[in-house]
């Protein structure tokens, strides 16, 4: 009987108060759109990043740790002819009003990324803004750090695909650069206090993802360029015996195609492999 009474009360609460909560949420979203629209450039519209954990065009973050979150929103100004213009604006609340404190914009064909990640490890997330320039050229990522109540661009990274690698305090960037078709050469970058540089430890942590990517590709098509990129990753991750086997498999495929220039590329990989072996032995 008690359970039946409790269920009835819960049902009554849900029926009576759910519309109120939904209405309140709708009002908040409407108020937010009104705030953003005041600062939207002419002929611009809100746009969500194509490839991002943060899929909404409006985000919130307290950059200066004053207890009041800033508003970050991304927009697109569509051009008659490509490229279009993509931008991001940050609003800060002063007393009861909002003010624009920062803006960045660039030309491209799509907004690829807009998100917040602690790249420097200082406890405050950096703002990352990536715009796609073209299918062949890929995208360009700009990293902005909050310094002295404003943003300063601390890094710029070209990429075709991008991922994040968790490290101690700092988050690393896995940068995939197109090699041939759907094959990529991968680097993992970490902030060294001044700039983003290659980091062997984070690369080794990320390597299983690269390996899985190429094993799947090779299972569908045994192409030399997959073996080349896999061998490159294996050398960087200190998987030296595996790299030697990948190089040999790639060379066999290339010789069948009589691609002498590519054989030279594999020979260069072999030199890198031997140099890495020497370095490892010295440690």
Instruction: Residue 82: give its domain's CATH number.
Output: 2.40.128
257, part of any domain: no
**Tens digits of residue pLDDT in 214-263:** 999 999 999 999 999 999 999 999 999 999 999 999 999 999 999 999 99
Q: What is the pLDDT of residue 80?
A: 77
Residue 186 forms part of a structural domain: no
- Each residue's pLDDT tens digit, 117-127: 999 999 999 99
- CA of 72: how far to CAs of 14, 98, 107, 166, 194, in Å? 34, 12, 19, 24, 26
Asked, for residue 176, whether it belongs to a domain, the answer is: no
* Domain annotation covers residue 253: no
The number of folded domains in the chain is 1
Which residues form the domain of 118? 28-157
Establish if 49 belongs to a structural domain: yes
Q: What share of the chain has pLDDT > 90, as a percent? A: 79
Could you tell me if residue 53 is inside a domain?
Answer: yes
Residue 71 within a domain: yes
Q: Would you say residue 159 has pLDDT above 60? A: yes
Domain membership of residue 152 (yes or no) is yes
Query: Where does the pLDDT of residue 52 fall: very low under 50, low under 70, confident under 90, or very high at 90 and above?
Result: low
Given a cut of 60, whether residue 25 has pLDDT beyond it is: no
Q: What is the pTM of this model?
A: 0.87
Q: What is the DSSP string of 164-191?
A: EEE-SSSEEEEEEEE-STT-EEEEEEEE
């Amino acid at each position: 009987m008690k359970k039946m009474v409790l269920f009835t009360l819960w049902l009554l609460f849900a029926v009576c108060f759910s519309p109120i909560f939904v209405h309140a949420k709708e009002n908040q979203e409407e108020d937010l759109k009104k705030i953003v629209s005041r600062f939207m450039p002419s002929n611009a519209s809100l746009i969500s990043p194509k490839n991002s954990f943060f899929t909404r065009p409006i985000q919130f973050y307290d950059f200066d740790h004053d207890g009041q979150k800033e508003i970050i929103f991304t927009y697109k100004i569509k051009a008659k002819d490509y490229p279009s213009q993509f931008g991001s604006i940050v609003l800060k609340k002063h007393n009861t009003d909002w003010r624009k404190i920062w803006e960045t914009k660039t030309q491209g064909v799509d907004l690829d990324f807009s998100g917040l990640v602690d790249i420097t490890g200082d406890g405050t997330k950096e703002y990352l803004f990536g715009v796609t320039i073209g299918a062949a050229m890929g995208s360009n990522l700009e990293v902005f750090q909050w310094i002295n109540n404003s943003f300063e661009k601390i890094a710029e990274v070209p990429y075709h695909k991008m991922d994040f690698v968790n490290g101690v305090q700092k988050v690393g960037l896995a940068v995939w650069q197109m090699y041939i078709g759907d094959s990529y050469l991968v680097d993992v970058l970490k902030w060294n206090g001044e700039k983003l540089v290659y980091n062997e430890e984070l690369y080794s942590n990320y390597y299983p993802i690269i390996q899985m990517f190429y094993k799947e590709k090779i299972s569908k098509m045994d192409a030399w360029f997959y073996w080349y990129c896999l061998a490159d990753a294996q050398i960087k991750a200190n998987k030296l015996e595996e790299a030697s086997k990948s190089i040999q498999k790639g060379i066999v495929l290339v010789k069948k195609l009589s691609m002498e220039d590519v054989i030279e590329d594999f020979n260069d990989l072999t030199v890198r492999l031997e140099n890495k072996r020497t370095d490892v032995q010295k440690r």
